[in-house]
Amino acid sequence: MIRALVTATTALAALAGLAVLLGTGSWRCAMRVLLDLLTAAGLLRLAGGQGWTALAAAAAIVLLRRLLWAALTASGPAGPPGRLRHPPAPAPDAAG
């Protein structure tokens, strides 16, 4: 049962990532959705097999997700997600 749920979650993660990419046009947003849902699939897999191997696999998935996201956000001009840019300074008033 859990194996089928993990497979379905993985397939739906790919579809959700594609839908976000097509809907927003932002590959970073789509990658974030895909990585989060693949992490969920890894955690579901952990619920099925409670051995050390399953725990190591889930930890590796979480670590890879964090490393990949850190690499993607460090290379972009927009900066880390969630940070607001400073608003532009107001133009000087010509009247005064």
- pLDDT tens digits along 14-73: 999 999 999 999 888 898 898 888 888 888 877 776 778 878 877 887 888 888 888 877
Residues 6+ apart with CB under 8 A from 88: none
pLDDT at 32: 87
What values do phi and psi take at 37, rounded to 5?
-75, -30
Q: What is the pLDDT of residue 84?
A: 45
36 phi and psi angles, rounded to 5 deg: -65, -40
Closest CA to 39 of 16, 15, 72, 9: 9
Which of the pair, 75 or 51, is modelled with greater confidence? 51
- Residue 64 token pair: 């890879």
Q: What is the DSSP letter of 68?
A: H
CA distance 65 to 73: 12
| pTM > 0.95: yes or no | no
Where b means 16+ CB within 10 Å and e means fewer, 56-66 reads eebeebeeebe
- Give the per-residue pLDDT at 45: 79
